[in-house]
Amino acid sequence: MNKLLDRLEYKYRRFGIDNLILYIVGAMVMVFVAALFYPDILTMLNFDRELILQGQVWRVLTFLIMPTSTSIISMIFSTLLIYAFGSSLERTWGPFRFTVYYFMGAIFNIAAGFVMGYTDNYYLMLSIFLAYAVLFPNEQIYFYFLIPIKMKWLGMVAGIFMLISFLFTGLVGKITIVAVILNFILFFGGDFITKVVNYFKYKPARDKFKKNMREVERRRNDGE
C-alpha cells in the first residue's frame, strides 16, 4: 500500500487538501452551534438511504460533519482531540496521504450506509485516533487534562471497544465497523505483517544474543 501511495502522491500530490482536518472540525462546530438553536438540523443532515434515493443527496456527505456529541463539554474535548490527532497525521504523512486516508474511510462508510440504510461518522473519527496511536504509540496525552496515558494503551482500549461493539451491536454497526477497519488495514496491515514476519525471522538471533549476554554477565559476576 505504501508503494502505491508513493506513486499516487508523486502524480497527484496537488489533490491533497491542506488543513483538511481543520475544515472538518470547523464544519462540525458550525453544525453543533446551529443545532443549539435549530435542533431539527441534525435530522436534516444525517445519512438516510431512503431519503437520499428520494432526492436528498446532500446527506451522502453531510453526515460526515455531524457533531460527535450533543454535550458542549464533550464536544469541545472531542473536537480538540480530533483536530490534534488529524493535524499530527497530516504533518507526518503530508496532505495527500491524509486526504486519501480520510476519504477512503468516508467512501467505505458511505458504501456501508447504502448497504444497510444508515451510517454515521463515529467510527470514521475513531479511525483517525487509531492511526495516531499506531504512528505515535509512546506519545503521552492527559486524559481529561488530568491523567497521563500513552497512546498505545488508549489504542488498545479503543481496539477492544471496537471488538466488543462488533460482537454485540446490530448488523448496521457491524458493517460500519468493518468498513472503517478495512481502511485502517489497507494503510497499516502491510507494516504490521512485516513486523510480525521480522519478529519471528530474527527471534533466534535475538535469543542467541540475549543468551550470550547472560553468559558474559555470569562470568563477570563470577570473576572469570
147 beta partners: 143
* Average pLDDT of the segment spanning 79-105: 90
CB-based contact 164:177 (threshold 8 Å): no
How confident is the model over 141-176, as pLDDT tens digits?
Answer: 766 666 777 877 878 888 888 788 888 877 777 887
How confident is the model over 204-223, as pLDDT tens digits?
Answer: 766 666 676 776 676 666 65
* CA separation for the pair 67, 94 (Å, rounded): 26
Name all domains of the chain by residue range, CATH numbers in brackets. 2-222 (1.20.1540.10)
CB-based contact 84:131 (threshold 8 Å): no
Name the grid cell of 84.
490534534
| pTM of the shown model | 0.77
Predicted local distance difference test score (pLDDT) of residue 199: 52
DSSP classification of residue 63: G
Examine the pLDDT at 224 and tell me if it is beyond 60: no
142 beta partners: 148
DSSP classification of residue 14: G
Predicted local distance difference test score (pLDDT) of residue 203: 63
AA letter at 221: N
Examine the pLDDT at 3 and tell me if it is beyond 80: no
Neighbour count for residue 105 (Cβ, 10 Å): 27
Predicted local distance difference test score (pLDDT) of residue 160: 83
AA letter at 199: Y
* CA separation for the pair 86, 80 (Å, rounded): 10
